[in-house]
Amino acid sequence: MVNTSSAVVSRLAIAFVVLWALSALLWLAHPKVIAFAPIAPIYLGLSFLSRGDLDMAIVSLGISGLTISVTVFSIAKRRALAAAMTFVVLYWFWSLALLGLGV
């Protein structure tokens, strides 16, 4: 299996969309949440930061930053796909946790 940049990008994009679809199934009764889910950790992380809740801000922004960094590294170096997939899954898990808590 060849790991070209386009192959890595397409695999990560597919994983992101599949996880968004699974998230959408959980939130069918709340359509606004479905649209908000992909940006929830970043948006809420900044919101936590402005309210002074540093623990939640660090976790939310940390997960977001690590996901973006590992994804960019994975695309640039054409390796570490498993790590990037793990962070994409972690990002979505945290997004669902934040939305489920009603934060």
Q: How many domains are there within the chain?
A: 1
pTM score: 0.79
Range of the domain at 89: 5-101
CA 31/CA 23 separation, integer angstroms: 11
How far apart CA 99 and CA 94 sit, in angstroms, is 9
For residue range 40-86, list pLDDT tens digits in order. 899 999 999 999 989 999 999 999 999 989 888 888 887 778 888 88
